[in-house]
Structure 1
């Protein structure tokens, strides 16, 4: 009985402060009802890793910067080769069936994770430094916003890594490079743009285009759209080949533009 009590207390301590949900419109506060494990017991040997594959990084879930509980977070400029050490926790029944930051439905049985600053989705290899167990998860959510934790794993991932009962574990995480996966598994071709501003007057858009073109090592264009009521002229940086290029362009833009550009993704299937 004492052992069961200790385990229960560990679970409550680990799961009492879980990620705040983040929607396209911003953070959404979730009431602090208790989280926990499902009634059924999972066999860690039967849990398969997430299968890495190239995926398009869209706007959903990737607001940058974003603010949760009064604190502002920025995504990493380049996630390729990203590694990090720290404490992992997990989230379970409280969030099962709810929407993740990119609009997908969270399942505590899937091999997924939440991270504060990695783009969504990316694949991460997680190593439990206490026992050496490893697992591959797909990041599709934001969190944990509990101080001192670097990643929040699904319950299934915590079981596979051997710390579901303990609640937390020291881990090392490493982003998996999906750029060189076989062509049959490649994601749809996509071109990325940063939309800087929109004008009703073409001359205003052209002036900004000329100003940015003179100081940025990236293509700048005006995309015009005419409707029955009015014309809109959008100043965009691009096309850019991948998400790390988007982040590099955004960094360069900060020295010449005070606003926050929007991410535009043009998928070509």
Structure 2
């Protein structure tokens, strides 16, 4: 009669050993659910690691953004994991976010992703909770400035403090593998490789970098300077986003920065300057990119 209680207790403890706990790192991946994420048939593992065969991915070509049909397998309107319901975004247009990235590798290599494809840890792919599958995105490591285009074809991570889960190869390329996580900026891309514009109203969505909707500098200003030279670091639909970038630039770079809203535009634009010469403006541009900010563009009032 004592055998039954002991057996029940053993089964209970075994189940507890596979429940999510702890903080994932480079070799711990309890945030991958056994089920719930659309289409995924991967099972949950208590640990993860890089490949036994480490390949050099330093020169591996990045994915080239292209138009692809949405995965019928991985894009339900909503799905639920661990009691929390997620709503898949109808479009990736304008998506831009900063937060923590984690990575996954050998334990999931070859298993079906939420898009229905097999996960290949040697490719530059990623998992995201709500972006449409597939989506191309540029991921920038905010600590070292390294940047990489990835193809989002999976769901996760399901820890609230992370915004994207990178393949092993992507984590290596971005310098995140050893630490397990890293601070990143994620920007959805169009088929041309640029941050996605908002096609519905022709405006640049919130926090998309400044390459859109800005007049090019005149030839005279490029050649002569004269104090009317500026850099545009961002264009935002909301004032809060513009103010946040303004504060970061002022704190990190100690450069003159302001938020403007030209009469002809509904966007709040973050400008640096004025600069007395093109050389001063070029130095400021290098400072921005070296600090991990998106490359600004030259503008004049």
Equivalent residue in structure 2 for 1:122, among 128, 131, 135: 135
For residues 75 and 104 of structure 2, what CA distance do their matches in structure 1 show? 21
Q: Which SS does the other structure have where 2:97 is aligned?
A: strand
**Number of residue equivalences:** 171
Equivalent residue in structure 1 for 2:65, among 22, 33, 52: 52
Equivalent residue in structure 2 for 1:137, among 131, 150, 159: 150
Q: Cα distance 1:32–1:136, how it changes in 2: closer, same or farther (>3 A)?
A: same
Q: CA RMSD in A?
A: 2.4
More strand by share: 1
Cα-to-partner distance string for 1:154-173 (whole Å, 9 max, x where unaligned): 00000110111111000000
For residues 21 and 104 of structure 1, what CA distance do their matches in structure 2 show? 17
For residues 125 and 94 of structure 1, what CA distance do their matches in structure 2 show? 25
Higher relative contact order (CA 8 A, sep 6+): 1
Equivalent residue in structure 2 for 1:168, among 181, 185, 193: 181
For residues 45 and 74 of structure 2, what CA distance do their matches in structure 1 show? 22
Contact 2:125 2:151 in 1 (8 A): yes
What is the TM-score with the length of structure 1 in the denominator?
A: 0.58
Contact 1:22 1:142 in 2 (8 A): no
Q: Which SS does the other structure have where 2:169 is aligned?
A: helix
Contact 1:123 1:175 in 2 (8 A): yes
Matched, 1:11 2:26: yes
Contact 1:81 1:177 in 2 (8 A): no
Q: Cα distance 1:115–1:21, how it changes in 2: closer, same or farther (>3 A)?
A: farther
* Unaligned ranges ≥5, structure 2: 1-23, 195-301
Equivalent residue in structure 2 for 1:91, among 104, 111, 136: 104
Aligned match of 2:124: 111
Contact 1:42 1:159 in 2 (8 A): no
Aligned match of 1:200: none
Q: CA deviation at 1:45?
A: 1.9
- Equivalence map 1:1-269=2 (5 Å): 10-12=25-27, 15-20=28-33, 30-178=43-191
For residues 139 and 85 of structure 1, what CA distance do their matches in structure 2 show? 16
Q: CA deviation at 1:115?
A: 0.2
Q: Greater CA radius of gyration, 1 or 2?
A: 2
Q: Cα distance 1:11–1:24, how it changes in 2: closer, same or farther (>3 A)?
A: closer
